[in-house]
Chains A and B, each alone.
Chain A
Amino acid sequence: MSKKVLKAVAFISPENRPILIRTFSNEDDHASAIKYHYIAHTSLDVIEERVAAGGKSTECYLGLLYAMEDVAVYGYITPLKVKIVIALALSDSVVRDVEINLLCKALHMAYYSALSNPFLKLDAPTDATNDHSPYLLVGRSNWKNFRRRLDEISRVVSNPSNAAGT
């Protein structure tokens, strides 16, 4: 896997609410957080377009959504319509779709395993007819595991050689 710099990852619920927007850039100031919020938000446009154009295609990976300023934005939609948006630093090198797809799948799995935390449903009504899945809760700051996993993935992506050793 060639080296890439993962700038940010966004998880967006099926209702298009942000679940978690995690930035990995070093200048982790407020401006960049807002910037990736905007990127995640605007990429929903392209995701919706792709999904609509894809029809009943079951492909999760949506490919390059757009490249703007210094990031290339890729999209992925899980079968349950959770959207994952990845912002990669724009570098002058070929990005293989296979690798991004792999990265998306890893993120999807991270989300999935974070979601399986039974404690997330502690406060959920037991007789809920429509499943208020703890989509949004999982991104809350008090659930650290998810963030840790994402950071781990980001680290692996940035240093593929290290990861191969471990």
Chain B
Amino acid sequence: MNSYPPELLAQLAPVMFVAGLDPPPPSTPTTAQSPTTPTASKAPQQDPFVILTMRLREALLAQRKVAIWQPDKSKSFQIIPVDKTVRFPPRKLVPQDDPGYSAAHSPLSPLTPSSPLHPDGLIAPIWIRKHTTLVPSVFVMFLRIYEYPPHMPRSPLDPPDPDRERDRELEERKRDAELAADIALRKKSTNERNIKLTVVLMATRRMLDDPSLDGRLTYIRRQSGLDSRAALFVLSPVSQQELGDFVKSLQQALYEPALEYYTAHSKRVRRKRNRHSQAISSYPTVPHTPLGTPGIGRPLRPEGWTVRYEYKMACFAEFRGEDDIALKHYQDAYEMLVIMFGSTAILPPRTKRWAEAKVLADCINIKVAKLYLYNNEHALALSHHNTHIRKFGDFSRGWGIGEETFEFWSWIARQHRILAELLEHGTQSKLVIPDHRPVNPVASQRPSVAVPSSVLELEAMRTMGMNPSHALQHPGYYYYMAAKCTEARRERFLAAAEAEASQTSPHNPSPGFTNEKKVDHLIIILELYTKAYELFKKYAPANAQNQNQGRLTLWIAYRIGQTYYESGKFDMAVRFFERIAKSYRREKWGLLLRPLLATWYACARQLGDVELSIRLLVEMLGYGVEESEDPASLEEDLLAVLRNSIPSTPDPEPMAIDLGESQPMLDSSVAFWTSEVKVGEPAAFQLCLAAPTTITLASLPFASLEIHFSGNLPPVVVKHAPEVLPAVVQRVDLGHISSSGAAGSPVANFRWQPGAAVVLTGTVSSGIPASFKILKVVLTLVEGPWTIQIPFDPSKSRGSSVPSARWLSSVDPPRFFPITREDFSSVIIRHRSHSILMSLSHKAPAYLDEDYPILIEVTNADDRELEVTADVLLQPTEIDGTENAIVLDDERSSSLIKGVNFGVLQPGVSVVKTLHLISTGAAGERMVDVSIQSTAVGGHQHENPELQDMTETLQTLVVPTSEAIKVNFGVVYKRALTARAGVADLRTYDHDFWDDSDGGEAIVTAQMECAGPWGLEVASVKLLRKDNEHAKVVEASIDTDNDIPSDYLTGDEFSDVCRVSMDIGEDLDLAEAAITGPGSYEVNWRRILGSGDRGPLSTSIFPLPPLRPPIDGVIALLDVSPTAKLHVPVPLTITIRNRHPSRSANVTIQLEPDPSDGFVVAGLRSGRVPILLPGGEEKVTWRLIPVDCGYVKVPRIKIVDKRRALVSAQAREPNAEVETEGDVVKIIDVRLDRARERKITGRVSVESTR
């Protein structure tokens, strides 16, 4: 931007002159010049008006800075402090009263001979400077209004002094008149130019309250001829804050007149332009220039005038802040300029006007771009800029400064640079560089984004695409372009300089060339690249992953390094290269590294840094050379460096060049024949080192090669032996490499021809488990005093390809075959696994409750002595209600027994141990894992379990488990025959009173069956009584006649019956609960193992089932003897019990004799039993005299409980005689009373412990 006049680039804003705010002379106090303020003279530094002026000046000057990028449209002025008596430049050179005035032109017009534009100017920055610095749109004068010294009456009672008042009035009037005259003078000059004059009178606060102020102000205004509006302000010393407000409101008030001022200018220019364009037809003749010498040069053609007018109108519009109009006029001016440039007749090249027009065109271009950018119309801005470059590039060719000249590139670089600078200014303000990410259709479909119009726009954007050259990028790109163009400029310049030097005849160099010679191109290039670098760095995405420099910045840094190299600052260049190379090596883009290394090496050579040169040459050997270059060049260079220099120290350490992330110079691969070998076995490997074909290494004096293995193997050194004949594939056998090193001293020929390979083969072995690979290979190069060691990792592939493994199978002809393993470059050495046999024997299925033996037999089938331990894990089962355990030796566990020692086994010896499995609960499968660990006796105890010589043998055993004896219980219930004890029966209060009248008896049948496949010997069966408070075993058949113990086979059964008496106390709710079985059967048994063998004694417990006696309501028990003799009466008794807990029963009995009955009945035929209270019972007895023999039926008896019927009848209709049936009461023959288990299964009552 510095290459263009700043006036042509700066953003224009209305200009305001302020006068009367001169800073006070700092040295002398202001006493003398302010007689009007005697009070202030005492303390001049504190004079509020001095402070006020200072502050005002500051505030006003801070309003706006001259800047190129200033898009905001706040109504602010460009404020310029001036002297009160400042003079404006004359409008015309002749005085106004001269007769030639109307024909005269402005002093800046090309028509005025004394103008800087005469004779062949166009429009100069001086014109803008006139409007920005010499002529304001608004003139503000700050003046002090006269204040009569305040009257200090001696006493408040003193009357006003009329003399003094009169004096004061006179004095004021006099001073005001002087002031008004001053203003009027000023007003005259501003009026001439239609400049608004505003006066700000500064007065004390006291003055503001003075009633005479208004009158005085009116007087002053009238006298001075000030406008009535916004022309006179009064300001008293106020705070900073209020001052700011004042400055703002002052600008607000004056903005309108300022706009009017510039509009008037615009109108005037438009008038001129119109007049001019109408006059165009008559224009071809030389325009008469009334003054001065006509036709000296090239009078401005109509196009030129149009440019002037359009440009002026654009500027005035810009002053007004009307960017659209300004843009329009600028574009018109630009178009016209292009037309002018298009014709050498209108604008002959290389004239002053031409140069001026060129600068003007460039500046207008930037203005246009800037105005577009203000509106965020990036594409239009860039389009204009690109078109400008292209058009003027084309013109340049016509002017003889085409691409082959430095002038052309200088100009292009300037264009890029100024755009970059403009963007930089913009981004510091409000300009945002757009992101050119493609519009994501998914995102744009979201309704939230979405007013339909914008969706349409997006769609249009998508289908339209965009011109990539119109994509606004951050200024770094444009700086970069400028730098590139400057490089081109330098190139052209150097070519021109060379041409000049080679030219024998003295050629008259153009003035441009002479100038160009003074330019230090490299400094400009560096500056531009550095700017680009900073901007790229600034705009680089700041993600964590990208902590190192971005690739774009690296690329520019590389260009900077190159430029330093070009300018001979090799040390700087080296610093850059060092840093960049690090990243490039890591990225492994070899092709990028190659030119970098080449330049770096050139720098090192220039700097005379031998070691660095050697390092770089060795690294460069790794990357090879271009096809166009001599493949031996690097090798020769390296040798030359080594031969022609000596190390810095006389007896140097070997110089190690660790290329780390760089490419080694040899293609290398390591392959092991197998991925795994046993301890002590040899593992064969091949290390193949091959020279690349693109470069020669044959003359490099490699002296030896060291191979470093991982683990404790010593490095193997292979020496160079020139007597070994070089071959395409040289096979060198290293023999077996053990911890004592290689067997012999291997030699090989290390003069690699292009493409030749040295294959080093050998075997490694280890006595302990290990993992081997070749860590690194160190090539040693000895030349004269130099010893250079070049280590590299042979497993890493050279270049970027995936390494592939090959195994040399034949030397002549050389043949390789691929190793298709992934981990080919390493070998793992493991212990031989022990040969341990484990067998588990048992007789399935196991029975529940049985101590089930499982034999574990461990045999050492190895030839080593082994120590064996075992872990046994009983897996948890998913079956409910099981409780299992395993027992091995003395250990018992429900899950894991660990580390059971089996002792040291000699080869061929076996050990048997019995594992006991005890499972209870439910049948099902049990799983046992048996793990045998064998360790070699006398082996090393390694910290790392991986390396221990240990073998684990694991076996899982599934044991099906079934029940040995299956028990089926059958329960029937008999109702008690005895009557309930009376309420007042004292016996019931006894502690051990057993009341079974409610419960009755249960008869439990236990049927036991041998269910399993194995026979059992039942040793004993016992009923263990566990009487509880609700049930007790009365008797059991087993007690009397226990002949059960015997041998039983599968399917054999035995059984027992027992009677249980139940006492249903009041606390037991039978509907809810059941009674716990009052005991359990205990069966002791052994498994029959065949041929008289018996297993261990096992005990199975079968608890009696829970009891659920029937619940009755009203019930009738019929008791009659089973047999009777003819004509001998027998009693028939019916006991009616009301067993309902809360309800009484109203029972009727009806005996219905029938002629077919075999009885004669004596007793109640039909009647009602007294109401039975809950728990009550009533007996009714008949006598039956049998009259028939044989099987006879007892008479039919019907017992009905009418209570419910009655209740329901009463409920329905109290007085109605309704015959109701009522509930029939069930009659149960006590002889056959076998009530079944209730279906409702209640929970077993919790057995009380007492």
Contact yes or no, A96 B464, CB < 8 A? yes
- Residues in A whose Cβ lies below 8 Å from that of B480: 68
- The residue that B820 contacts in the complex, of A49, A63, A126, with Cβ under 8 A, is A126
Please, how many angstroms separate the alpha-carbon atoms of A93 and B379 in the complex? 12
- Residues in B whose Cβ lies below 8 Å from that of A33: 591
Residue of B462, B552, B555 with most chain A CB atoms under a 10 A cut-off? B552
Please, how many angstroms separate the alpha-carbon atoms of A61 and B462 in the complex? 12
Give the contacts of A57-82 with B (CB-CB under 8 A): 57, 59, 61-69, 72
- Residues in B whose Cβ lies below 8 Å from that of A122: 818
Contact yes or no, B804 A123, CB < 8 A? yes
Please, how many angstroms separate the alpha-carbon atoms of A49 and B91 in the complex? 60
- Lowest 10 A-B CB distances belong to which pairs? A72-B468, A96-B465, A63-B438, A49-B541, A125-B822, A123-B804, A64-B436, A126-B820, A17-B800, A42-B552
- Residues in A whose Cβ lies below 8 Å from that of B545: 48, 52
19 more A-B residue pairs beyond the given contacts A17-B588, A44-B551, with a C-beta to C-beta distance below 8 A? A34-B591, A37-B589, A41-B551, A45-B540, A49-B541, A61-B438, A64-B471, A68-B480, A68-B481, A72-B468, A72-B471, A92-B387, A95-B465, A95-B466, A97-B438, A126-B820, A126-B821, A127-B821, A136-B801
Please, how many angstroms separate the alpha-carbon atoms of A97 and B387 in the complex? 23
A residues near B, CB below 8 A? Answer: 16-18, 30, 33-34, 37-38, 41-42, 44-46, 48-50, 52-54, 57, 59, 61-69, 72, 88, 90-101, 122-129, 132, 134, 136-137, 140
Q: Can you report 18 A-B residue pairs in the complex whose CB atoms are below 8 A from each other?
A: A41-B551, A41-B555, A45-B546, A49-B541, A50-B437, A57-B442, A67-B468, A69-B481, A88-B468, A93-B467, A95-B465, A96-B463, A96-B464, A97-B466, A122-B818, A123-B820, A127-B822, A134-B802
- Residues in B whose Cβ lies below 8 Å from that of A137: 801-802
- Residues in A whose Cβ lies below 8 Å from that of B588: 17
Contact yes or no, B467 A94, CB < 8 A? yes
Shortest Cβ gap from A116 to chain B (Å):
17
Shortest Cβ gap from A14 to chain B (Å):
13
Given the known inter-chain contacts A18-B800, A41-B587, A49-B541, please indicate yes or no for A59 contacting B481, CB distance below 8 A: no
A interface footprint on B998-1031 (CB within 8 Å = 1, 0 otherwise) = 0000000000000000000000000000000000
Residue of B nearest to A101 (CB): B438
Given the known inter-chain contacts A45-B540, A57-B442, A67-B473, please indicate yes or no for A90 contacting B801, CB distance below 8 A: no
- The residue that A92 contacts in the complex, of B386, B436, B437, B591, with Cβ under 8 A, is B386
Q: Does B311 contact A (CB under 8 A)?
A: no
Shortest Cβ gap from B1151 to chain A (Å):
94
Please, how many angstroms separate the alpha-carbon atoms of A49 and B545 in the complex? 10
A interface footprint on B408-444 (CB within 8 Å = 1, 0 otherwise) = 0000000000000000000000000001111010110
Residue of A44, A49, A140 with most chain B CB atoms under a 10 A cut-off? A49
Please, how many angstroms separate the alpha-carbon atoms of A98 and B466 in the complex? 11
- The residue that B462 contacts in the complex, of A37, A68, A94, A97, with Cβ under 8 A, is A97
Residue of A nearest to B805 (CB): A125
- Residues in A whose Cβ lies below 8 Å from that of B551: 41-42, 44-45
Please, how many angstroms separate the alpha-carbon atoms of A155 and B467 in the complex? 22
Please, how many angstroms separate the alpha-carbon atoms of A37 and B800 in the complex? 15
A interface footprint on B455-494 (CB within 8 Å = 1, 0 otherwise) = 0000000111111110101000100110010000000000
B residues near A, CB below 8 A? Answer: 383, 386-387, 390, 435-438, 440, 442-443, 462-469, 471, 473, 477, 480-481, 484, 540-541, 543, 545-546, 550-552, 554-555, 587-589, 591-592, 595, 626, 628, 800-802, 804-805, 818-822, 824
Please, how many angstroms separate the alpha-carbon atoms of A97 and B439 in the complex? 10
Contact yes or no, A18 B589, CB < 8 A? yes
Residue of B465, B540, B546, B628 with most chain A CB atoms under a 10 A cut-off? B465
Please, how many angstroms separate the alpha-carbon atoms of A52 and B554 in the complex? 20
- Residues in A whose Cβ lies below 8 Å from that of B801: 136-137, 140
- Residues in B whose Cβ lies below 8 Å from that of A88: 468
- The residue that B592 contacts in the complex, of A38, A69, A90, with Cβ under 8 A, is A38
Please, how many angstroms separate the alpha-carbon atoms of A52 and B540 in the complex? 13
- Residues in A whose Cβ lies below 8 Å from that of B800: 17-18, 136
Residue of B nearest to A100 (CB): B465
- Residues in A whose Cβ lies below 8 Å from that of B390: 92
- Residues in A whose Cβ lies below 8 Å from that of B818: 122-123
Contact yes or no, B802 A136, CB < 8 A? yes
Residue of B469, B480, B819 with most chain A CB atoms under a 10 A cut-off? B469
Shortest Cβ gap from B1096 to chain A (Å):
54
Contact yes or no, A30 B436, CB < 8 A? no
- Residues in B whose Cβ lies below 8 Å from that of A44: 551
Please, how many angstroms separate the alpha-carbon atoms of A53 and B1186 in the complex? 112
Residue of B nearest to A53 (CB): B437
- Residues in B whose Cβ lies below 8 Å from that of A16: 587
- The residue that B473 contacts in the complex, of A66, A91, A94, A96, with Cβ under 8 A, is A66
Contact yes or no, B555 A38, CB < 8 A? yes
Please, how many angstroms separate the alpha-carbon atoms of A96 and B466 in the complex? 6
Please, how many angstroms separate the alpha-carbon atoms of A69 and B621 in the complex? 32
Residue of A nearest to B465 (CB): A96
Contact yes or no, B592 A98, CB < 8 A? no
- Residues in A whose Cβ lies below 8 Å from that of B481: 68-69
- The residue that B437 contacts in the complex, of A62, A67, A91, A101, with Cβ under 8 A, is A62
- Residues in B whose Cβ lies below 8 Å from that of A129: 822
Given the known inter-chain contacts A98-B463, A136-B802, please indicate yes or no for A92 contacting B589, CB distance below 8 A: no
Residue of B nearest to A12 (CB): B589
- The residue that A34 contacts in the complex, of B471, B477, B592, with Cβ under 8 A, is B592
Shortest Cβ gap from B679 to chain A (Å):
24
Contact yes or no, B465 A128, CB < 8 A? no
Residue of A nearest to B556 (CB): A42
Given the known inter-chain contacts A61-B438, A66-B477, A127-B820, please indicate yes or no for A45 contacting B550, CB distance below 8 A: yes
- Residues in A whose Cβ lies below 8 Å from that of B467: 92-95
Residue of B nearest to A31 (CB): B595
Please, how many angstroms separate the alpha-carbon atoms of A129 and B551 in the complex? 32
Contact yes or no, A52 B437, CB < 8 A? no
Please, how many angstroms separate the alpha-carbon atoms of A38 and B436 in the complex? 21
Given the known inter-chain contacts A69-B484, A98-B463, please indicate yes or no for A45 contacting B541, CB distance below 8 A: yes
- Residues in A whose Cβ lies below 8 Å from that of B540: 45
Please, how many angstroms separate the alpha-carbon atoms of A54 and B541 in the complex? 13
- Residues in B whose Cβ lies below 8 Å from that of A127: 820-822
Contact yes or no, A48 B462, CB < 8 A? no
Contact yes or no, B462 A98, CB < 8 A? yes
Please, how many angstroms separate the alpha-carbon atoms of A128 and B818 in the complex? 14
Residue of A38, A52, A122, A140 with most chain B CB atoms under a 10 A cut-off? A38
Given the known inter-chain contacts A33-B591, A37-B589, A45-B552, please indicate yes or no for A97 contacting B822, CB distance below 8 A: no
- The residue that A37 contacts in the complex, of B546, B592, B819, with Cβ under 8 A, is B592
Residue of A66, A88, A137 with most chain B CB atoms under a 10 A cut-off? A66
Contact yes or no, B438 A62, CB < 8 A? yes
- The residue that B436 contacts in the complex, of A59, A63, A90, A125, with Cβ under 8 A, is A63
Shortest Cβ gap from A124 to chain B (Å):
7
Shortest Cβ gap from A34 to chain B (Å):
6
Contact yes or no, B824 A57, CB < 8 A? no
Please, how many angstroms separate the alpha-carbon atoms of A87 and B541 in the complex? 22
Residue of B nearest to A68 (CB): B477
Contact yes or no, A94 B822, CB < 8 A? no
Please, how many angstroms separate the alpha-carbon atoms of A65 and B477 in the complex? 12
Residue of B387, B443, B468 with most chain A CB atoms under a 10 A cut-off? B468
Please, how many angstroms separate the alpha-carbon atoms of A67 and B587 in the complex? 23
Shortest Cβ gap from A33 to chain B (Å):
7
Please, how many angstroms separate the alpha-carbon atoms of A41 and B591 in the complex? 11
- Residues in B whose Cβ lies below 8 Å from that of A49: 541, 543
Residue of B nearest to A44 (CB): B551
Shortest Cβ gap from A20 to chain B (Å):
11
Residue of A93, A97, A126, A134 with most chain B CB atoms under a 10 A cut-off? A97
Please, how many angstroms separate the alpha-carbon atoms of A18 and B804 in the complex? 19
Contact yes or no, A48 B541, CB < 8 A? yes
Contact yes or no, A72 B465, CB < 8 A? no
Shortest Cβ gap from A148 to chain B (Å):
21
Contact yes or no, B820 A125, CB < 8 A? yes
- Residues in B whose Cβ lies below 8 Å from that of A123: 804, 818, 820
